[in-house]
Structure 1
Amino acid sequence: MSDAVLTEAQRIVMKVPKGPWPVEPNEFGLPDQVGPICFLETWSEAERLPVVEFISWARDAVPQFIGEVARQRDQIRRLERELKAARNEKAGASRG
């Protein structure tokens, strides 16, 4: 994932209303709304509840995933800098 993609994902997620987004039924008791998204339909009634539950779950999970990617990327860059510095020290010591 490039820095640009990560930054764009963070920007998009920050603009979405805060969660959690509860699943709410319509007047017939069918799941019909998730947070600010309403009138949900799928091609298959058997898929409706899993899709609605995914949307509800994703609202809180996606920001966590983006945060974890950013955290790991920062850690990798820090470790790469430390490794480079250690190699430079070792190379300097062997020349000296």
Structure 2
Amino acid sequence: MKVIRSKEFTADRAWGALDIANMSGVTCRLHWTDQPYKWHVNDGEEVFAVLDGTVDMHYKEHGEITVATLQTGDVFYAAVGTEHVAHPVGAARILVIEKEGSV
């Protein structure tokens, strides 16, 4: 049993994470960041939920870059093969659920 107060979580570096659970090879991690990540494609599907802050999610669709602004409470789903990168607007806390070992 764990209670995690996500708004209180910070890390000592951008994209630092608190491991919450590993469910048969699927990880659930809380991230804190104030810096963009990097363009990447995950090894599987990814669920990306903004718990605090705002994140501009850049992703490629049919070769075109699209940007979706995610507010607190919004969820982004990246299907297999979706190239994407998250750009927080200030500090943000993000819950990421993905295959263990994904980029």
TM-score, normalised to structure 1, is: 0.20
> RCO higher in 1 or 2 (8 Å CA, sep ≥ 6)?
2
Higher normalized helix content (fraction of residues): 1
Higher normalized strand content (fraction of residues): 2
TM-score, normalised to structure 2, is: 0.19
